[in-house]
Structure 1
């Protein structure tokens, strides 16, 4: 997962904001370096602790960058990234013999039997190796164009690491054992020879060429290439200031070391910034996802609620009635409590619709449903629309006597509302015919579906008897029916 994150971080396209930030950083580096250049040879105090501290930070930054680039190679398999990782590994390792052989840090002439030219030639190797590595990165990138990316190889990464280590050891050995054969570049701490000798201009031109080619070929299209261009620019200005500094521990020399440090850290800083930016986006998206999930749960609950309600009257629909009937029957049996059912029918509702219209009929259905629900005897009772002008009431824990009482309360509430119905033979207003059925705790059945069907059938027979008996009345089921 970390490898994939690194791959995404370094290969994502650059945004305008990122390009603007990189351009601002480049302008700042150039402006500071050019402002120092005229005074670069001005001698400053010698800070012995500066170079070891600088090297420690530089070593940390380059090796960490190399590690992250090797991780990206493992994730993406790009050979060009492997070359770039090797480049940063080389600069991170070559700095070690450079500081060990630098005069005045650990000893007057440097460790490892160093001579007066050892450290400067290791500096030359360091500042030639970096642009060559950048050019190798560009060349490998061009060769990879329009070709499928090969899978990464741990052996290839290990071989590259060993090759870089051997290169550092060989160049260090040459600088140590063949120092007398190498041209003199520094005399008594002054860089005059470095400026006039072909080596100095060659190193400078090589770095400038690497910076220009990197911009021309890659144009900062990705986060990696954008900030790598700034890093190579800072490295080139390091060479520029060193050559024109005149001597060690001068203003230009100190500024050159700062540019080296900027070059080493800029990729790390860019990656950390992108990690932080992506983390913020991830946190924001996670928050939005959680909000969306809560909204989805709420909508699902609302959808479920609506699926359980009758669209016209707002009370439980037939589906909810069937679910509650089966559930409450089972609970009543388990608790040993009675269970009662009312079936209610609006008297002569077809005649009402025919004479008053369907819209008025709908109003009667809604008003009747509200009256039934408001007249329920307890919070455990449930009113439902059974179908058409028929309603049902579930009464868990209610015995036969209290069922008749509850039915009468409902019948009376509808009658008292006095909803005009001039075409009903039962009364000049809307009335209800009601049938009741009660299951006692003793009458248990092993078949829950059959039990519910029997209860509904009994209540329906009682309802039919109410209609036969003149409507606007209540009939309790009995086995004599």
Structure 2
């Protein structure tokens, strides 16, 4: 079986746990105990309860056809041919009970409907209880022969052929049991079917059910929920046949008890399937929750990665990469709208000397403080402040003219100066100061980002050359 087929089968076959096995053992032992207790008294005749048989058959038909439907759905999901055979086995047992109840004497008419003969009902019972173990054995054998999944395009075709074949088989058995009533060996006489045993037909049906039970136990040992309760169903069918044969007649104690075993056989697997569906639903919900949690964690990780990739690790403002990206976007936007764009480039005066005198930790504290002042200065604008590299920072001001940019630049310079951070190693003063270069332009679609940065840097060099602690616009110093 290919990987997809194996995964589908593993998903659908839920392993049985200790509680499930314990429950199955309890049900199995209960059925054995009740059947063993009934056997010595099985021939005791009880009143004929007219509604019992129709109610029993209705339950059986409903249970088996629902089981067949759920198994067929599993076949379509797993594309497992053995699962299709098991589905048709339950379809067969569900459908064959319909002619069985219709031809049963005394239910809908004294002699039965649909051309019933005096042996039609018992032969349909025989084909019913013999057909089930044959289907189980076919299922077990197919698991060894058909290990590859059905091709996807053939799943529905195979399913239709199997269902149609099962319906035709039931119809053929019905015709044999009614039209061929006089051709079949006599296994009942006036409601007494002890001849079932002496004719050998009953023991053959019993042996088939025993082999089916043994095969299910040997092959699967109840390792999955489905096969655990399929074993119980096979046991119930075997006990049904056993008690029926020993009861000897219709409406005896054994006959009624055998019908109870049939109900267990019809109910066990569908209950297991419903239980599995519920387990699969719970598993699906848990996996959905895990998926949502994983998606949330992934989003958080992506956000963190984006933050780390676009922010400077020391100052926690945008880094050079983010600066370049924003500048390109704002240039395009201003070129389309016809608005100006201003750029401020600044760095700390005599920063190397500060680092040498106060240490790198002191220098880091200065850079962090300046970054905060930059963010405060552009708060309320559409500007972006970034650490361009080392002690150099850049501020992008889309829509701001030269005059407005100079005002913001001077405001930033003054804010840093007012902090009065001691700088004993400075050659131009006693405190930490900054120099700023400004450049404004009405960009076009052909304007290069490097050109704007270069011109703003040139203004910054002019501010340094003019004595530092000042703002310079395109080389024109402003105190």
- Equivalent of 1:107, from 106, 109, 124? 109
Describe how 1:198-237 pairs up with structure 2 within 5 A: 198-237=200-239
Q: Partner residue of 1:465?
A: 462
Residues 361 and 113 of structure 1: CA distance in aligned 2, closer, same or farther (over 3 Å) = closer
Instruction: Give the distance between the partners of 1:457 and 1:6, measured in 2 at CA.
Output: 61
Instruction: Give the distance between the partners of 1:393 and 1:78, measured in 2 at CA.
Output: 66
Describe how 1:298-309 pairs up with structure 2 within 5 A: 298-309=300-311
| TM-superposed deviation, 1:126 | 2.1
- Equivalent of 2:31, from 29, 32, 41? 29
Residues 10 and 214 of structure 1: CA distance in aligned 2, closer, same or farther (over 3 Å) = farther
- Equivalent of 1:424, from 407, 426, 432? 426
1:341 touches 1:459 (CA, 8 Å); kept in 2?
A: yes
2:35 touches 2:257 (CA, 8 Å); kept in 1?
A: yes
2:323 touches 2:388 (CA, 8 Å); kept in 1?
A: yes
Q: Establish whether residue 285 from structure 1 lines up as the match of residue 290 from structure 2.
A: no
1:326 touches 1:448 (CA, 8 Å); kept in 2?
A: no
Describe how 1:239-250 pairs up with structure 2 within 5 A: 239-250=241-252
1:10 touches 1:224 (CA, 8 Å); kept in 2?
A: no
Q: Partner residue of 2:13?
A: 12
Describe how 1:96-135 pairs up with structure 2 within 5 A: 96-135=98-137
Describe how 1:359-370 pairs up with structure 2 within 5 A: 359-370=361-372
Q: Establish whether residue 342 from structure 1 lines up as the match of residue 344 from structure 2.
A: yes
1:10 touches 1:222 (CA, 8 Å); kept in 2?
A: no
Note the alpha carbon deviations across 1:319-355, whole angstroms, 9 max, x for none.
1112222222333344444332211111111111222
| TM-superposed deviation, 1:149 | 7.0
Note the alpha carbon deviations across 1:244-302, whole angstroms, 9 max, x for none.
33532344323322221221232232222222211221122122212211221222122
Describe how 1:29-428 pairs up with structure 2 within 5 A: 29-37=31-39, 39-66=41-68, 80-81=82-83, 83-142=85-144, 144=145, 168-169=170-171, 171-176=173-178, 179=181, 185-194=187-196, 198-376=200-378, 378-428=380-430
Instruction: Give the distance between the partners of 2:374 and 2:158, measured in 1 at CA.
Output: 82
Instruction: Give the distance between the partners of 1:128 and 1:269, measured in 2 at CA.
Output: 23
Any stretches of 5+ residues in structure 2 without a counterpart? none
1:41 touches 1:245 (CA, 8 Å); kept in 2?
A: yes
Instruction: Give the distance between the partners of 2:380 and 2:173, measured in 1 at CA.
Output: 95
Instruction: Give the distance between the partners of 1:148 and 1:377, measured in 2 at CA.
Output: 67
Note the alpha carbon deviations across 1:292-319, whole angstroms, 9 max, x for none.
1122122212221221111111111111
Instruction: Give the distance between the partners of 1:460 and 1:153, measured in 2 at CA.
Output: 72
2:130 touches 2:208 (CA, 8 Å); kept in 1?
A: yes
2:60 touches 2:266 (CA, 8 Å); kept in 1?
A: yes
Any stretches of 5+ residues in structure 1 without a counterpart? none
2:463 touches 2:477 (CA, 8 Å); kept in 1?
A: no
Instruction: Give the distance between the partners of 2:27 and 2:70, measured in 1 at CA.
Output: 22
Note the alpha carbon deviations across 1:87-109, whole angstroms, 9 max, x for none.
43443343233222211011112
| TM-superposed deviation, 1:136 | 3.8
Give TM-score scaled by structure 2 length: 0.85
1:101 touches 1:118 (CA, 8 Å); kept in 2?
A: yes
Q: Partner residue of 2:445?
A: 446
Residues 456 and 26 of structure 1: CA distance in aligned 2, closer, same or farther (over 3 Å) = same
SS at match of 1:448: coil
Note the alpha carbon deviations across 1:167-201, whole angstroms, 9 max, x for none.
54555445445655766544543455546664444
Note the alpha carbon deviations across 1:346-380, whole angstroms, 9 max, x for none.
11111112222222222221122222322336342
- Tell me the number of residue pairs that the alignment of Structure 1 and Structure 2 aligns: 472
Instruction: Give the distance between the partners of 1:167 and 1:331, measured in 2 at CA.
Output: 77
1:376 touches 1:410 (CA, 8 Å); kept in 2?
A: no
